[in-house]
Homo-oligomer: A and B are copies of this chain.
């Protein structure tokens, strides 16, 4: 299977400039001096997550006529807001299909970006999205299983390499779009830098798949147990091919470790990370013995959290 090229990622970087924030690496004086740590704060993107990079790149790649007919996404999370926000930047329509049980705070956040929210029965999102595509002629923007989405997320890897000669980059993994793009960029520009995936123990289908050498699905019910609600998807053939080829290792983190990482990031780095966004830092904090040593980067993938949970974890 053909992997995304670093050229595609460099082209994506040009496209997203001025829309996605060029996030800095934040040095952490509170970390272990023998394994100095930098955070890559993607929670500071305008929608609060890295997803804007891939969504914007994918929409930018459409030709004018096609883009003019609008875009569709099915997601209750950060990808929905990313597609809605990117569509607003382009001045096109966006239809976002969300299950009826989606918290209203997320529905409102998506509407606030000007998207039309379509409620679907639980488990019917993809079918409803396909109907919208057929009715409107709009283009479906998938959350991770698409070369343009992967290329957009990979711009994070280019930025890391430009800023630091890192020994290790820790990346949250779920559908795998983020780590696929980041790994392509880093291995192309700095082959000696190790790229490791981090996954919740309770949704460790990628770890199982990498161990087995083939996609090893877990049930939705199993994956939904983790507090890291952005990490409940599983890889596609495309993102799994990237990971088998490019990722150096994977570590899983426990639920308490994720919670503690959210608190540590708030107290010490003055950043609000959602649980999914905190898993890479959790791996650094609690699984150092399993990881290569040296200069370490932890990607904070997002910071959108229910107020209830924020009250519990932040302070």
The chain A residues found within 8 Å of chain B, CB to CB, are: 21-24, 26-30, 41, 43-44, 46-48, 85, 112-113, 266-267, 269-273, 303-304, 307, 310-311, 314-315
Return the contact of A272 from the options B28, B29, B266 (Cβ within 8 A): B266
* Chain B residue, CB-CB nearest to A302: B270
Chain B residues within an 8 Å CB radius of A47: 29
Return the contact of A44 from the options B26, B30, B85 (Cβ within 8 A): B26
Most buried by B among A29, A271, A303: A29
Chain B residues within an 8 Å CB radius of A41: 44
Smallest Cβ distance from A110 to chain B, in angstroms?
12
Chain B residues within an 8 Å CB radius of A304: 270
Contact B21 A23 (CB under 8 A): no
Chain B residues within an 8 Å CB radius of A272: 266, 270-272
Bound: A119/B231 CA distance, A? 48
* Number of copies of this kind of chain in the complex: 2
Chain B residues within an 8 Å CB radius of A311: 315
Chain B residues within an 8 Å CB radius of A28: 46
* Chain B residue, CB-CB nearest to A266: B272
Smallest Cβ distance from A33 to chain B, in angstroms?
11
Chain B residues within an 8 Å CB radius of A22: 24
Chain B residues within an 8 Å CB radius of A85: 29
Return the contact of A112 from the options B30, B271, B307, B310 (Cβ within 8 A): B30
Bound: A303/B315 CA distance, A? 13
Bound: A255/B146 CA distance, A? 49
Contact B24 A21 (CB under 8 A): yes
Bound: A272/B273 CA distance, A? 11
Contact A270 B271 (CB under 8 A): yes
Smallest Cβ distance from A262 to chain B, in angstroms?
12
Return the contact of A307 from the options B48, B271, B315 (Cβ within 8 A): B315
Having A44-B270, A272-B272, one finds 11 other A-B pairs with CB under 8 Å, namely A21-B24, A24-B44, A26-B44, A27-B46, A29-B46, A29-B47, A43-B270, A307-B315, A310-B315, A311-B315, A315-B315
Return the contact of A271 from the options B21, B44, B310 (Cβ within 8 A): B44
